[in-house]
Amino acid sequence: MEGNPTESSDWRKGKALVECHMYMWTNHIACDVIFVVGTEKEIIPAHKYILITRSSVFEAMFTGPFSTTREIILSDTDAVVFKDILKFLYSDEIDVSSENVTAILILAEHYSLHNLEDMCFQFLESHLSTQTACTAMETGHAYERSGLWEIAVDYIEMHASEVLQMTSSVSNLCHDCLHRLISSAQIDVKENVIFNAAIKWAESECGKRGRDVTPDALRDILGDTLFHIRFPLMSPDFFVNSVSRTGLLTEVERNAILETILCPKSKSSSFSGEPRKFVVRRVSRYPVHGEEWKYDWSYDDAVAFKCDRKIQVLGCILYGPKTEAKAEYTIKASIKGESQFTTTVEARSDDVTYDVMFPNALNVDANIVYTMTVTISGPPSFKGLCGMTKVVADGVTFWFSETSRSTNHTTTASGQIPGIIFKIVT
């Protein structure tokens, strides 16, 4: 491999710098360091020069007063993830996924790879799902990324029923993060789901701390968080059969809660019976609708808006089919010109409108103009008429205005996007 290359066999021919580096690495040419990685002791050769150019940790490892020798043993490191990291150091390329993001982030932090850390944070922000939301929340907490943490909390509050039933995800949360969710006044979930999540989390913590799973241990580990479960909102059946039998509550507590469940006005329990509020609000700008609005995938309907309070936009309202009883629409939607996503919705003529919920809540600041854009594919729909430019909805004032992005001709007076679905940020 390292002999004098003839012109025809020269592997460098036609390769850019990065490709040459990758060739050197993958073919083990002139490597001057060997990593012995993982429990399987996989041998992974590399070049100190490349690693030093990319990481201050490798620089200290190879050039400092305590510089190490040619062989470095990393028995606690996963070989697959380490090779991903090395590939990134040689090429700037890496495949981050929901499965490997946490492991990559840990190594990125360990080797001070700031760009890679940012890539992982961005991945978590843009790939929130019921599977990843708890990881994103805990990562935001652990790495002090408040933006990521807040986006994840918002997502979980909106999708709590699904997220909190994913035991393996919930058990990744620290006590502070679990407490934040269980004490939330604005979370869309029933108390039995919250209770089950709390118990599963505490059982998992018992395992991590080497404690036997006993009612006392669960209660001790949950601490004050237990008092944020709103037991009086549970059904008598669930409380008696699923809560009382755990032995988590004292007899006095159980009796007081049962009394409140059966007779809510008695308020004899110290546990809150106040329903959690996840208030979804809607603003509508067309007082009347007519016919008909047509679509072409190369034209957008758009409307600009601003409001006088900080809100989160959860979705938009669109007009449904006029000429058919039922129709399928494909919608590409975006707000602020970003956060674009595509979805398919089945809509009914009887309902006139249908809702399109965004995958993530989008923060909208007061008195800033944003543009809501939709590209629609489907049969003709109703359209709005006599549009209002100022609408007050649940104490929030919205002003609608026209935008040049609306190439399918929606205006403030007529067209699509009759409304916005939102939550007030308190």
The residues pairing with 355 across neighbouring beta strands, listed in sequence order, are 317
Kindly state whether residue 199 participates in binding Zn ion, applying the rule CB under 5 A.
Answer: no
C-alpha to C-alpha distances, 209 to 199, 217, 293, nearest whole angstrom:
15, 10, 62
Q: Which stretch binds Zn ion (CB under 5 A): 149-157, 173-181, 311-319, 330-338?
A: 173-181
Tokens of 228: 């944020």
Among residues 145 and 254, whose Cβ is nearest to Zn ion? 145
> How many amino acids of this chain bind Zn ion (CB under 5 A)?
5
Q: Whose Cβ is closer to Zn ion: residue 124's or residue 177's?
A: 177
Q: Which stretch binds Zn ion (CB under 5 A): 20-28, 51-59, 134-142, 209-217?
A: 134-142
Minimum distance of Zn ion from residue 121's CB (angstroms): 15
* Contact call for residue 345 and Zn ion (CB under 5 A): no
| Contact region with Zn ion (CB under 5 A), list: 136-144, 163-171, 222-230, 344-352 | 136-144
Q: Minimum distance from CB of 275 to Zn ion (Å)? A: 26
Helices 191-208 and 175-182 meet at what angle, rounded to 10? Answer: 170
Q: Which of 174, 193, 217, 396 binds Zn ion (CB under 5 A)?
A: 174
Give the long-range contacts of residues 100-107, CB within 8 A, separation 24 or more.
Answer: 101/132, 101/135, 102/135, 102/139, 103/78, 105/139, 105/143, 107/77, 107/81, 107/82
Give the count of beta carbons closer than 10 Å to the beta carbon of residue 385: 14
Of 174 and 425, CB closest to Zn ion: 174
Q: What is the 3-state secondary structure (H, E, C) of 308-333?
A: CCCEEEEEEEEECECCCCEEEEEEEE
If the CB atoms of residues 91 and 183 are measured against Zn ion, the closer one turns out to be: 183
Question: What DSSP designation does 415 have?
Answer: B
Strand partners, 183: none
Place of tokens 């700008």: 285
Smallest gap from Cβ 309 to Zn ion, in A, equals 29
Nearer to Zn ion, 176 or 346 (CB): 176
Q: Torsion-angle region of residue 89: left (phi > 0), alpha (psi -120 to 50) or beta?
A: alpha
By beta-carbon proximity to Zn ion, the closer residue of 138 and 300 is 138
CB of 361 to Zn ion, least distance (A): 20
Least distance to Zn ion, CB of residue 379, Å: 48
Q: Which residue has the tokens 């470095």?
A: 72
CA atoms within 13 A on the CB side of 73: 4
Binders in 238-267 for Zn ion, by CB under 5 A: none
Does residue 177 bind Zn ion (CB under 5 A)?
A: yes
CB 202 to Zn ion: min, Å: 15
Q: Which is nearer to Zn ion, 174 or 206 (CB)?
A: 174
Is residue 141 a contact residue for Zn ion (CB under 5 A)?
A: yes
Residue 177 is encoded by which pair of tokens?
Answer: 């993060």
Closer Cβ to Zn ion, 141 or 285, answer by number: 141
CB of 188 to Zn ion, least distance (A): 21
Residues sharing a CB contact under 8 Å with residue 4, sequence separation 6 or more, in sequence order: none
Residues that bind Zn ion (CB under 5 A): 138, 141, 174, 176-177
